[in-house]
Chains A and B, each alone.
Chain A
Amino acid sequence: MSSILTVDHLTKRFGYLTAVKDLSFSIEKGNVYGILGPNGSGKSTTLGIVLNVVNKTSGSFHWFDGHTSTHDALKKVGAIIERPNFYPYMTAVQNLKLVCKIKEVSPEKIDEKLELVGLLERKHSKFKTYSLGMKQRLAIASALLNDPEILILDEPTNGLDPQGIHQIREIIKKVAAQGTTILLASHLLDEVEKVCSHVIILRKGEKLYSGRVDGMLASYGYFELKAEKMESLKKFLKSDPKFGSITVENGLLTAYLNEEMDATELNTLLFAQGITLSHLVKRKESLEKQFLTLTKNQTH
């Protein structure tokens, strides 16, 4: 797998505040990455540094094989940072033509990309007449003009209404399906969970985790169970070393696994014990839960 971005011991200080602390990670081709972290955790600063708009304090980063200068590499990258920035007095097409000129690509893909984000009918309207959702979609179209090796999105759904959020997610899914590498920074966990295969978790400028989403916690998931004989169910599970903590809440029993076990196996086991289930679901921890566990672990 070829590497797209390598960040090595990157640090950025704003006066006494350290926004990014000794951060290292790398982005491989073909994956969808999420950078997760609460507000102010250094996500945007990190992206700003690799995108040539924020100066690093120390450390290094390089694009692709490390032989291209940052600004040349950026011509093969599509990126949107926070808010869509275009010339308000120019139309969508004029703005995109300008971007083509900067990226040194031919303007023939403008219509195709506008079509993709659903702005083709409004292509001759001035940018300032667009709604925020449309502006954001135009920004995505602009980032895709060069069919980039990697698409970088920083909080792409920030400030959008539910419909706008949905549209953006659909576009991201479409782009990801085409095999484009994506780096998505967000504090919205379900957003990352829905599209990303890998995550990098930041807190106060430090990396807490980087790797596959499902490998984030060494966890085997948990069962949600209901039965008529709740007491004997609970007693049986407690005696089994395969189960860790067991809680009962509102008549629903939650049992965490200590090792791999599938639902059929459990069902057979319980039936043999004379316990019939009225409800059986196996779940994985949500990213949110994992994220909170991870950040909590680090504080203590």
Chain B
Amino acid sequence: MFRLLHIEFIKLWNNRASRVLILSYFILLTSIALVAAIKFDIGPIQFHLADQGIFNFPYIWHFNTFITGIFKLFLAIVIVSMMSNEYSNKTIKQNLIDGLSKKEFILSKFLTVVSFALISTLFVFVVSLILGMGYSDYTEISIIFSDLEFLAAYFVKLVGFFSFCLFLGILVKRSAFALGFLILWQVFEAFVRGMIRWKLFDAETTDTIMGYFPLNAMWNLLKEPFSRLNAVQSAVKQMGEQLNLNYHVHWYEILIVLGWTAIFIFSSYALLKKRDL
């Protein structure tokens, strides 16, 4: 296993573009701490974001995983190109000739993807923990370590998304086209949602159906955290509305994403096995 990871590491780390992207990704992950420094001090209006409760445990788990989830696009580029470059440089052919089996090839990519997700999760965990320790109103151990399922969901979300990128890289073989396809797929899911909502079902059934589409399922894992903020909730209350959202991570949502991950990885393997290089 470490041999496969090491092989992939050599390939990635010696590529300047990937190295820059990976580094900036992790710097961005860390930079979320800078949000704490956002402070407006304009005469009577004093606003300090850190005081708004976004760094309270356990809310911070939700908030930080949601925000850092956006940065995954950086790694998506790296992953799509690490797959498609093997085709454009024909190094996949040489790898197989040199004695890597097709299974090992896919496995080395998948292990890399899992490591990326794992390191990201650890990063977010540590950064959030430090931020929370500094700014949270509650620092009891039991509160700090509650709601950690957001981290689990974050990990699954990344693995699922990156596996999708891997699959697209193998399917399309050109990194630019694969990324285009990713965007196209996003549009496609939105289009299907629109069609279903318009022609077939009501909002709730549409949401249920859409929950089975890969990108939508990944999105569903972590719901937007903003409406949980006190400020937002009191504003809504003042307007006489009631927000009743379900923020929690559901087991079946995780299962759907894990299912897609399996489908992507096995289809990648099947594609590689079937193709003549």
Q: A-side interface residues toward B, CB under 8 Å?
A: 14, 48, 51-55, 69-75, 77, 79, 81, 83, 85-90, 94, 97-99, 101-104, 142
Q: Is the pair A98, B10 in contact by a Cβ cutoff of 8 Å?
A: yes
Q: Is the pair B100, A71 in contact by a Cβ cutoff of 8 Å?
A: yes
| 4 further interface pairs, Cβ-Cβ under 8 Å (given A87-B14, A101-B3, A101-B10) | A85-B89, A94-B10, A99-B98, A102-B7
Please report the total number of B residues contacting A with Cβ < 8 Å.
26
Interface string of B85-125 (1 = CB under 8 A from A): 00001110111111111101000000000000000000000
With a cutoff of 8 Å between Cβ atoms, the chain B residues found around residue A94 in the complex are 10, 14
Query: Which of A14, A51, A85, A88 has the largest number of chain B CB atoms within 10 A?
Result: A85
Cα A94 to Cα B9 in complex, Å, equals 12
Offer 28 A-B interface pairs, CB within 8 angstroms, sorted by A: A48-B276, A52-B96, A52-B101, A53-B96, A53-B97, A53-B276, A71-B100, A73-B99, A75-B98, A75-B99, A81-B97, A85-B89, A85-B91, A85-B93, A86-B94, A87-B14, A87-B89, A87-B91, A88-B89, A89-B14, A90-B10, A90-B14, A94-B10, A98-B7, A101-B6, A102-B7, A102-B98, A104-B99
With a cutoff of 8 Å between Cβ atoms, the chain B residues found around residue A72 in the complex are 99
Cα A142 to Cα B89 in complex, Å, equals 16
Shortest Cβ distance from B222 into chain A, in angstroms? Answer: 35
Interface string of B250-277 (1 = CB under 8 A from A): 0000000000000000000000011011
Q: Is the pair A101, B7 in contact by a Cβ cutoff of 8 Å?
A: yes
Q: Is the pair B10, A51 in contact by a Cβ cutoff of 8 Å?
A: no
With a cutoff of 8 Å between Cβ atoms, the chain A residues found around residue B90 in the complex are 83, 85
Q: Is the pair B16, A102 in contact by a Cβ cutoff of 8 Å?
A: no
Cα A102 to Cα B104 in complex, Å, equals 10
Cα A102 to Cα B15 in complex, Å, equals 18
Question: Which of A51, A97, A104 is close to B97, meaning CB atoms less than 8 Å apart?
Answer: A51
Q: Answer yes or no: B39 CB below 8 A from chain A CBs.
A: no
Q: Answer yes or no: B11 CB below 8 A from chain A CBs.
A: yes
Cα A71 to Cα B107 in complex, Å, equals 15
Q: Is the pair B7, A89 in contact by a Cβ cutoff of 8 Å?
A: no
With a cutoff of 8 Å between Cβ atoms, the chain B residues found around residue A73 in the complex are 99
Nearest opposing residue in chain B for A51, CB measure:
B97
With a cutoff of 8 Å between Cβ atoms, the chain A residues found around residue B274 in the complex are 55
Query: Which of B15, B102, B277 has the largest number of chain A CB atoms within 10 A?
Result: B277
With a cutoff of 8 Å between Cβ atoms, the chain A residues found around residue B98 in the complex are 74-75, 99, 102-103, 142
Cα A287 to Cα B104 in complex, Å, equals 43
Nearest opposing residue in chain A for B93, CB measure:
A53
Q: Is the pair B11, A98 in contact by a Cβ cutoff of 8 Å?
A: yes
With a cutoff of 8 Å between Cβ atoms, the chain B residues found around residue A98 in the complex are 7, 10-11
Find residues 192-249 in chain B having any chain A CB closer than 8 Å to their own CB. none
Given contacts A86-B94, A88-B89, A101-B3, contact A74 B11 (CB under 8 A): no
Shortest Cβ distance from B29 into chain A, in angstroms? Answer: 25
Given contacts A75-B99, A81-B93, contact A54 B11 (CB under 8 A): no
Q: Is the pair A55, B276 in contact by a Cβ cutoff of 8 Å?
A: yes
Question: Which 9 pairs show the lowest CB-CB distances between chains A and B?
Answer: A75-B99, A71-B101, A74-B99, A85-B94, A85-B90, A53-B277, A54-B276, A102-B98, A90-B14
Cα A52 to Cα B15 in complex, Å, equals 27
Q: Is the pair B93, A102 in contact by a Cβ cutoff of 8 Å?
A: no
Interface string of B65-103 (1 = CB under 8 A from A): 000000000000000000000000111011111111110
Q: Is the pair A89, B16 in contact by a Cβ cutoff of 8 Å?
A: yes
Shortest Cβ distance from A190 into chain B, in angstroms? Answer: 27
Q: Is the pair A86, B10 in contact by a Cβ cutoff of 8 Å?
A: no
Given contacts A51-B96, A51-B97, A74-B99, contact A87 B3 (CB under 8 A): no
Cα A88 to Cα B16 in complex, Å, equals 11
Cα A79 to Cα B96 in complex, Å, equals 11
Cα A54 to Cα B275 in complex, Å, equals 7
Nearest opposing residue in chain B for A97, CB measure:
B10
With a cutoff of 8 Å between Cβ atoms, the chain B residues found around residue A71 in the complex are 96, 99-102, 104
Nearest opposing residue in chain B for A127, CB measure:
B89
Q: Is the pair B97, A54 in contact by a Cβ cutoff of 8 Å?
A: no
Shortest Cβ distance from B88 into chain A, in angstroms? Answer: 10
Nearest opposing residue in chain A for B90, CB measure:
A85
Nearest opposing residue in chain B for A49, CB measure:
B276
Nearest opposing residue in chain A for B100, CB measure:
A102
Nearest opposing residue in chain B for A139, CB measure:
B94
Nearest opposing residue in chain B for A100, CB measure:
B98
Shortest Cβ distance from B76 into chain A, in angstroms? Answer: 20
Cα A86 to Cα B16 in complex, Å, equals 16
